[in-house]
Structure 1
Amino acid sequence: MLTKTSPSRGNGSPEVTGFYDEATGSIQYVAADPQSDTCVIIDAVLDFEPANARTSTESVDEILSFVEKKGLSVAWILDTHPHADHFMASSYLREKLNAPAAIGEKARDIADLWRDLYHQQNAFDVDSHFDRLVAEGEELEFGTLGIRVMLTPGHTLGSVTYVIGDAAFVNDTFMHVDTGTARCDFPGGSARELYSSLQSLLALPDETRLFVGHDYGNDNRDEAAWEATVSEHRDGNVHIGGGVSEAEFVALREKRDATLPLPDRMLHALQVNLRGGRLPETEADGHSYLRIPLNRL
């Protein structure tokens, strides 16, 4: 797995290591406080192979090995939103680490949408699957750094960003500078809301490091990339840099989204992720089964 570390810049600055999941283009993060030897794990992936419907823990076990070798204790297991392109590993991590898991409080509203789409009116009790549902402006304790929560909807109606010192984990809002921004066409998404969220992120201090949720590369570079500063995005992001207006952005984003297929794991993933990464309860034969809605999307 491709791994890169962004060093701490000193007091008030975390060391951030990104782990790239090539199968889904997802970046998983360990943000460490050098002053307290504590860390948080953000958007960890439970491996899933759609062709044979098999899960495994190789990717997240690599992160656990990294944390152990660094001598870090895990303060929080964080997810920025219920992901559509990969299974979340938060439930597995809770069992392994006995650390609390958190997600944005509007995951409740996302669950309401997907209960209807899956026709499972009693499923997805988000409150029982996470230890904390966080709101805009909320602060979480973490070493000497702390974590501030920003509500940044658009990709989903409940996406949150975690700001830790001079680092912000911006989920599916920005992509890398040379790639642009995230799609907004899933249930509950909105290009106008994403534009507003992007502007709130661009209002952070210029040298804040923004760590994105995905990278799919492009023709101009060979390796995945996921870190850039606020000023780099403000000046050079190919979708919004240089002062693009809301109307221009919405037109661009909606035109592009209309050409994109759904992620191949989406209908599998949401029913797992709204359970905090837990597979459905086993049935009489001892196996779990997924429910796939036909002709709904």
Structure 2
Amino acid sequence: MSDPVITAAAHQVLTALTSDKVPVVKTFFDRATFTATHVVHDPATRAAAVIDSVMEYDPAAGRTGHHLAQEIVDYVRGHDLKLEWLLETHVHADHLSAAPWIQEQLGGKLAIGADIVRVQDIFGKLFNAGTRFARDGSQFDHLFHDGETFMLGSIPAIALHVPGHTPADMAYVIGDAAFIGDTLFMPDYGTARADFPGGDARALYRSIRRLLSLPARTRLFLCHDYKAPGRDTFAWETTVGAEREHNVHVHDGVGEDEFVAMRTGRDATLSMPGLLMPSVQVNMRGGHLPEAEENGTRYIKIPIDRV
């Protein structure tokens, strides 16, 4: 089959990009979860977005923290930025979102893809979240649909639905920069797994090819890096051109069936992320902890012996 392509609306946005519409990106890397949080802003208007923030969580002690989030708040304030968006690329399974805490400090609208409702339905049942847990995405201020355009100050942007890792993954193209969540890693590391509930390796391939139909010069900002063998430093920025030429899993010439066989076989060897249970329960609620029980304490559930 031919490569999936970017929608006409996306092409209109990309056509509008010029050299003076290049956003500034500052990345904060959390080594405990290997997560890159990106703060992107328009240098002309100071409008900013925080993408995929991290709240620290110690599962042994049941303690949360906001040290990295505080660094982000300090950066936004120190550079006189106006936070307009807190963007989540998906319901993360490896870290807890700090978006609500940052929102309390700086304002802005919390947003995710509209298919969050599918993820909430899947995991609401898995964790027996009960009727008080809304499965309509209402924990977020805005639900982006595929191809929906928006502005970050004077810079045009678009949200693209890129399912596969989860059903609800979104990428945000802001000027010449694309924030692609857990779809691709650095070229020497490959691609994201697709074996979580609702994941689909074939959908992931098509989403990746869709992203790789962006112009070769497009900067790609990734959500994670685990340092490929032989590389000593963490990295989270690459380009469409570099991924098309060098990605070890999905470079140009790798077909869909070949990728699906590789991804499915590789996923079967992977263990579940250590923070899967707390992360999903919090992130499906928009980064909010579960409601306190009668004794005033909040709890994270762990299903036992569930097939």
Query: What TM-score do you get using the length of structure 1 for normalisation?
Result: 0.94
Contact 2:50 2:87 in 1 (8 A): yes
Aligned counterpart, 1:213: 223
Following TM superposition, by how much is the alpha carbon of 1:210 offset from its aligned partner in structure 2, in angstroms? 0.7
Q: Which range moves more in the overlay, 167-176 or 87-96?
A: 87-96
Aligned counterpart, 2:6: none
Q: How does 1:137-152 map to 2 (within 5 A)?
A: 137-152=147-162
Report whether the alignment pairs 1:32 with 2:41.
yes
Following TM superposition, by how much is the alpha carbon of 1:51 offset from its aligned partner in structure 2, in angstroms? 1.6
Contact 1:105 1:135 in 2 (8 A): yes
Aligned counterpart, 2:124: 115
Aligned counterpart, 1:289: 299
Q: How does 1:1-297 map to 2 (within 5 A)?
A: 10-122=19-131, 123-296=133-306
Task: Tell me the alpha carbon deviations over residues 114-149 of structure 1, each in whole angstroms, 9 at most, x when there is no partner.
Answer: 111112242244532110011000112310113200
Match for 2:82: what amino acid?
S
SS in 2 for 1:293: coil
Following TM superposition, by how much is the alpha carbon of 1:280 offset from its aligned partner in structure 2, in angstroms? 1.3
Q: Distance in 2 between matches of 1:62 and 1:83?
A: 21
Structure 2 gap ranges (5+): 1-17
Task: Tell me the alpha carbon deviations over residues 152-177 of structure 1, each in whole angstroms, 9 at most, x when there is no partner.
Answer: 00000110000001000011000011
Following TM superposition, by how much is the alpha carbon of 1:92 offset from its aligned partner in structure 2, in angstroms? 1.0
Q: Distance in 2 between matches of 1:21 and 1:283?
A: 31
Contact 1:43 1:88 in 2 (8 A): yes
SS in 1 for 2:230: coil
Q: Runs (4+) of structure 1 moved beyond 4 Å?
A: none
Contact 1:124 1:271 in 2 (8 A): no
SS in 2 for 1:129: coil
Match for 1:222: what amino acid?
D
Q: How many residues align?
A: 289
Q: Distance in 2 between matches of 1:125 and 1:246?
A: 33
Query: What TM-score do you get using the length of structure 2 for normalisation?
Result: 0.91
SS in 2 for 1:83: coil
Structure 1 gap ranges (5+): 1-8
Contact 1:32 1:40 in 2 (8 A): yes
Contact 1:30 1:42 in 2 (8 A): yes
